Amino acid sequence: MDEVIVSRAIVERFAQKFAQSMDLDVAIVGGGPSGLVAAYYLAKAGSRVAIFERKLSIGGGMWGGGMLFNEIVIQEEAKRILDEFGISTKKFQDEYYTADSVETASTLCSFACRAGVKVFNGISVEDLMVREGVVIGLVINWTAVEMASLHVDPLVVRAKFVVDATGHPAEVVQVLQRKNPVKIKTPSGSFLGERSLWAEAAELSTVENTGEIFPGLYIAGMAVNATMGGYRMGPIFGGMLLSGEKVAKQIQDRF
């Protein structure tokens, strides 16, 4: 066993994967439920897709269910998506189903990878490339660099479309507005921020408002409600899955 071969294999394989992902059809920021579902459907339809995820683990806010009780709840309308992934669900009462959050997170991740999505974990998106009023790519750096506040310049990835699936902070939308004097497609033209918890309203608006918020930039999942001034919903996940599915369809229609 030659340790240098082991090291070289890792570096060369990663470099190849990374270089091939520098010019994408779709760059998804955040590997939570909405980002994973969107990535899976887009890759399945033939797009070149990568997910950039700050943490080591993919799955976002799914792992801990509600308050670390690792079960999630899905409403009737979204159950068909978990069925498509072969994730087991149990009826709790009419219209309410539960799923094991570990099975859900790991299976969504596995399906996305096997559909061809390249997942880059431990990488944070810190900025965007914007040209003539269109988002054309991401500015990325290692999360470890970000955490250590090291003064290290980033690298870039070009993409025909970017999806902000960063959840509650809607980081991509926020950085777009912080660094550029632009209006986004909200009633005020600016980022509106998330409101307190109201599951029913939140679940509907997260799906309804999923879409292109600025040329080249789409929002999905909880980032939608954060951007549009919608409510939070707590550990009910149907809206996240439906939003991921919707954004994938919207982007596919652009190709």
- How far apart CA 30 and CA 119 sit, in angstroms, is 10
User: Would you count residue 60 as binding ligand 48F (CB under 6 A)?
Assistant: yes
Q: Exposure of 127 by Cβ count < 10 A (0-12 exposed, 13-18 middle, 19+ buried)?
A: middle
User: Would you count residue 31 as binding ligand 48F (CB under 6 A)?
Assistant: yes
- Tell me, by CB under 6 A, how many residues bind ligand 48F: 30
Q: How far is CA 68 from CA 34, 90, 101, 111, in A?
A: 20, 19, 10, 24
> Any residues with CB less than 8 A from the CB of 109 and at least 6 apart, and which?
31, 36, 58, 59, 119
Of 174 and 252, nearer to ligand 48F (C-beta) is: 174
Which one of 5-13, 79-87, 147-155, 221-229 is the stretch in contact with ligand 48F (CB under 6 A)? Answer: 221-229
Q: What mask of x and - would describe binding to ligand 48F in positions 78 to 117, judged by CB under 6 A?
A: ----------------------------------------
User: Would you count residue 54 as binding ligand 48F (CB under 6 A)?
Assistant: yes
Q: Hey, is 113 helix, strand or coil?
A: helix
User: Would you count residue 34 as binding ligand 48F (CB under 6 A)?
Assistant: yes
244 neighbors 37 (Cβ within 8 angstroms): yes
Which residues 169-198 are close enough to bind ligand 48F by CB under 6 A? Answer: 169, 171
Which one of 27-35, 39-47, 129-137, 151-159 is the stretch in contact with ligand 48F (CB under 6 A)? Answer: 27-35
> Which tokens sit at 48?
């070149």
User: Would you count residue 230 as binding ligand 48F (CB under 6 A)?
Assistant: no
User: Would you count residue 251 as binding ligand 48F (CB under 6 A)?
Assistant: no
- How far apart CA 222 and CA 40 sit, in angstroms, is 18
Of 46 and 240, nearer to ligand 48F (C-beta) is: 240
**Locate tokens 């939570």: which residue?**
32
User: Would you count residue 35 as binding ligand 48F (CB under 6 A)?
Assistant: yes
Query: Nearest to residue 138, comparing CAs of 51, 223, 45, 13?
Result: 51
Q: Which stretches of the chain bind ligand 48F, using CB under 6 A?
A: 29-35, 52-55, 60-62, 124-125, 165-167, 169, 171, 221-223, 232-233, 235-237, 240
